[in-house]
A and B are shown apart, each in its own frame.
Chain A
Amino acid sequence: MSGILIIAEHRRGELRPQTLELVTAAQALRSGAAGVSLALIGKAPDALLPALHLAGVDEIITVSVDAAEFDPETYESSVGALIQARSPAIVLIPHSVDSFGYAAALAAKHGLGFATDVFDARFVDGTLVATRGGYGQKVHVEVDFPGRRTVLLALRGNSFKPAETPATPRITAFAAPLIVSRSTPREFIELPAADDVDMTAAEFILTIGRGIGEEANVGQFRELADALGATLGCSRPIADAGWLPKSRQVGQSGKTASACKLYIAMGVSGAIQHLAGMKHVSTIVAVNSDANASIFGVAKYGVVGDIFAVAEELRKRF
């Protein structure tokens, strides 16, 4: 019983960047558990190998399967077989949409210790302790895993720096059990970049959230964004309600606002998925009437006040 097993995540022939964060997270856990192996499960896993030649990975395990893209039962059987063969103490995966689809099933079937959305993990007096959020991130929760030989941890994105130092791990092939999955991945569908806007290129974004109250109020914020020279974006509830097109949604499941440098969020309380999607922005300004809104925890500047009054005053200045 030893070692850390990382499960790489990839999509459409590219490694998902969170995989590199898992490599960093594994280093902090090494002292309590020997050796770090990284499993690459896919139809042609060798193609992704170059991206994973990283210091901190002792071994890359390639697992060839039929499914070209993520499929829950394929991952469950492959990772399950790896756990049985290697008996790792810890299995690390990203807390991501793909892992939502199989991690809990893997834990349930194999009796693993299990926690998701973990942003810190360490050994305390020889016991593995993982920390996650609770009650809408108002508290932190430390959990442990009494009596479990293997613990599966899904790690929150952006909690660990991505590994980047090159190295040459040894490469091993592992024969996955053959399965006939009961679900079949078909095609990917890109969200159309509707109404001429490209959120991924916008450097200055003004986003509106639930706090705007009703659809009739969207117009004044659109006008404000135009006056400021900002691109108007929105949080999930606004897009779900159809008040703005889905292409304007920012946050983890919306468009990645990768070029954004100044982000003003008005009436956005800051669901964890929204914050995770905007964490990279250097200057976040949150305007919210609720002084306890979680977005103030990530914002550089905060305005506690009525968003309509602040918007109106701001409009006068541009």
Chain B
Amino acid sequence: MKIMVAVKQVVSLDEDFELRADGRDVDPDFFVRDLNEWDDFSLEEAVKIKEAAGAAEVVAVCIGSDEADDVLRKCLAKGADRAIRVWDDAIEGSDPIAIARILAAVAKRESPDLLFAGVQSSDQAFAATGIATGAFLDWPHAAVLTQLNYTPGATRAVFRRELEGGLLHEVEIHCPAVLTIQLGINTPRYASLRSIKQAAAKPIEVLAPGDLGLSDAEIGEAGSASRVRRMFVPDKAQAQLLEGDAAAQADKLAAIIRDFKGEAA
């Protein structure tokens, strides 16, 4: 039994970031990189199933340059058995559709029983990569899971997806399937110092698109469904600030509350 977990190294921005000279992205000098928050939950879900099953393998897969080894080490420390990273400079500029094509190629090689991805990434938030991967594999797929019942080896899984407004929807799905995992489905573990040390010694398998039978036309901008024209910092509507120390701020806030209550009375 094998579960593949697609993970992304996401980027948050330094406070005073600057755009790249061509205006199509932020200057990478201002990037702060980390494991996507959603992926922490999908990895945990896979490791939980593995632990319940006794014998199973969790494979973490990341599309990214060698800087992304950090997130794969984190996955290894939290219970992934193997880590695969796919990169080539030609992947630069890939949108979620192109990334999904690469992930699907890895999944064809690995033949997992389930493939997990986060609902979305915290940086670009397309909410698309996992489900597009399902399409390239022609596997059934479902998004935004907050509960999953799956017995290793079973041909079907039952899950709940989280809808808007506090509603859940129960669905049964054939396996293998691609499932995107929502925050809160479990409580991700912290890696112990010992497991972090062990993870540092584990190998990360590095593949190029060519190893997966992918041509340059299928990846990068050429293989993408959209192309970035430009990025810009929006003129933000800003809140009217209540100035002063905490006491002065509380005075003003109290006045707003009393005003509201007067109106409401």
Q: Which residues of A contact B (CB under 8 A)?
A: 11, 69-70, 72-73, 76, 95-98, 100-109, 111-117, 129-130, 133-136, 138-146, 148, 181-191, 203-204, 228-229, 236-237, 239-241, 246-247, 249, 252-256, 261-262, 264, 272, 283-287, 292, 296-306, 309-310, 312-314, 316-318
Chain B, Cβ-Cβ closest to A106? B135
When distances are taken between beta carbons in the complex, the residues of chain A under 8 Å from B132 are 104-105, 107-108
With A182-B140, A203-B264, A292-B15: A142-B174 Cβ-Cβ less than 8 Å: no
**Are the CB atoms of B225 and A113 closer together than 8 Å?**
yes
B116-147 interface with A by 8 A CB criterion = 119-120, 122-132, 134-136, 140-144
Separation of A284 and B115 alpha carbons in the complex (Å): 40
Q: Which 3 A-B pairs have the closest CB atoms?
A: A302-B239, A240-B184, A313-B250
When distances are taken between beta carbons in the complex, the residues of chain A under 8 Å from B242 are 301-303
**Are the CB atoms of A114 and B231 closer together than 8 Å?**
no
> Is B254's CB within 8 Å of the partner chain A?
yes
Contact with A along B169-183 (1 / 0, CB 8 A): 111111001001011
Q: How far is the CB of B223 from chain A (nearest CB, A)?
A: 10
When distances are taken between beta carbons in the complex, the residues of chain B under 8 Å from A314 are 250, 253-254
**Are the CB atoms of A191 and B167 closer together than 8 Å?**
yes
When distances are taken between beta carbons in the complex, the residues of chain A under 8 Å from B182 are 253
Separation of A56 and B260 alpha carbons in the complex (Å): 39
Chain B, Cβ-Cβ closest to A306? B246
Question: Main secondary structure on chain A at its contact with chain B?
Answer: mixed
Besides the known contacts A184-B171, A299-B239, 8 further A-B residue pairs in the complex with CB atoms under 8 A apart: A72-B143, A105-B134, A109-B135, A141-B124, A146-B227, A184-B173, A253-B166, A305-B246
**Interface-facing stretch out of B49-57, B156-164, B193-201, B204-212:** B156-164
**Are the CB atoms of A183 and B173 closer together than 8 Å?**
yes
The residue from B171, B227, B231, B236 contacting A144, defined by CB atoms under 8 A apart? B227
Separation of A314 and B238 alpha carbons in the complex (Å): 23
**Are the CB atoms of A116 and B126 closer together than 8 Å?**
yes
Separation of A98 and B162 alpha carbons in the complex (Å): 10
**Are the CB atoms of A97 and B161 closer together than 8 Å?**
yes
When distances are taken between beta carbons in the complex, the residues of chain A under 8 Å from B109 are none
Q: How far is the CB of A56 from chain B (nearest CB, A)?
A: 24
**Are the CB atoms of B246 and A115 closer together than 8 Å?**
no
Separation of A237 and B129 alpha carbons in the complex (Å): 23
B233-265 interface with A by 8 A CB criterion = 233-234, 236-242, 245-247, 249-254, 256-257, 260-261, 264
With A143-B227, A296-B238, A303-B241: A182-B26 Cβ-Cβ less than 8 Å: no
Separation of A176 and B140 alpha carbons in the complex (Å): 19
Q: Between A and B, how many residue pairs show CB distances below 8 Å?
A: 274
The residue from A113, A141, A184, A303 contacting B228, defined by CB atoms under 8 A apart? A141
Separation of A11 and B163 alpha carbons in the complex (Å): 10
Q: How large is the interface on B (under 10, 10 to 19, 20 to 34, 35 or more residues)?
A: 35 or more
Q: How far is the CB of A115 from chain B (nearest CB, A)?
A: 5
When distances are taken between beta carbons in the complex, the residues of chain B under 8 Å from A70 are 169
With A101-B143, A139-B234, A286-B239: A313-B247 Cβ-Cβ less than 8 Å: yes
Chain B, Cβ-Cβ closest to A70? B169
With A283-B256, A313-B249: A134-B135 Cβ-Cβ less than 8 Å: no
The residue from A138, A191, A285, A312 contacting B233, defined by CB atoms under 8 A apart? A138
With A144-B226, A313-B247, A317-B251: A116-B135 Cβ-Cβ less than 8 Å: no
> Is B84's CB within 8 Å of the partner chain A?
no
When distances are taken between beta carbons in the complex, the residues of chain A under 8 Å from B26 are 135, 139
> Is B220's CB within 8 Å of the partner chain A?
no
Separation of A111 and B250 alpha carbons in the complex (Å): 55
**Are the CB atoms of A309 and B246 closer together than 8 Å?**
yes
> Is B11's CB within 8 Å of the partner chain A?
yes
